[in-house]
Amino acid sequence: MDTQTENYAIKLDIFEGPLDLLLYLIKKNEIDIYNIPVALITEQYLQYLNIIKSLNLDLAGEYLVMASTLIHIKSKMLLPVPEEPTEEENEKDPRAELVKQLLEYQSFKEAAADLEKRPILERDVFTHASAGLQENTGKENEEDDELIEVSVFELIEAFHRLVSRTDKKELLEIDVEKMSLTDIINDVMERLTREKNLTFEELLGERKDRRQIIYTFLAILELIKLRMIKAYQTSAFGVIRIFPAVES
């Protein structure tokens, strides 16, 4: 990989981890967390890893460890059941430990999200959960629909759908010499300051080729990491809209 390109790699684990990706896939497929179809989830998980790698995002080792875990669980579930299984074999579901991790992580994540939505009055003191959301998000409350902050995986999926519709002859390579990530970051912020909010496709769809689309997507991720912008949608898989974190 070009060392210049590596300078622009974004660490994905700053945003989300492998358990976040699994929870997202479970939600997307409307799956019972206690009865995960491991073959399906493993296939989709590996597809996401391939997309992430193609974007030059820095993939934390934990993602690869989880991929190995899923493949191992999948292989154990494919083994034939013994004609006379032992009591331990009857009771032990290969998915049990993973389900336990997911449930624990989900409970901590929901508690953290609840606290994050509340404006801080004093150090470690939080207001009631219903207060302050409108102040923090500004124009996203123009519509009656509740807005949900999206995860990086929803952004990756939206990006993948968009880029798959562009010219197939364009290569998924980033030409650092011809394009400046800083310039595109500034352009995105100027547009959002002027327009107040834009859909994800409005920000990316006007770009002329895949390289420009990729760089704009990396700029969006960088701005989210810096907490300068936020991404919301009006339903679980609705239109994604980008807002400045602080309305000017």
Q: What count of Cα atoms within 13 Å lies in the side-chain half-sphere of residue 103? A: 11
DSSP letter assigned to residue 150 = P
Per-residue pLDDT of the chain (248 residues; tens, 9 = 90+): 333 333 455 667 667 889 999 999 999 999 999 999 999 999 999 999 988 887 777 777 889 999 999 999 999 988 876 666 665 555 578 999 999 999 999 998 888 777 766 665 544 444 443 344 444 444 444 445 678 888 888 898 888 888 777 655 454 454 544 668 888 999 999 999 999 999 998 888 766 677 788 888 989 999 998 889 999 987 766 789 999 987 65
Give dist(CA 26, CA 110) in Å, integer.
16
pLDDT of residue 26: 94
CATH number of 140-248: 1.10.10.580
Query: Is the CB of residue 110 less than 8 Å from the CB of residue 103?
Result: no
pLDDT tens-digit series, residues 91-129: 578 999 999 999 999 998 888 777 766 665 544 444 443
pTM over 0.85: no
H or E stretch at 209: none
pLDDT recorded at residue 99:
95
Say which amino acid occupies 227: R
SS3 229: strand
Instruction: Output the CA torsion 73→78→80→85 (10° steps).
Output: 30
Beta bridge partners of 198: 242
Amino acid 76 reads K
Residue 236: the pLDDT is: 63
CA 167 to chain centre: 25
pLDDT at 131: 41
Cα–Cα distance for residue pair 131/26, rounded to 1 Å? 30
Which letter does DSSP use for residue 144 in this model?
Answer: S
Where in the chain are the domains? 1-81+90-116, 140-248
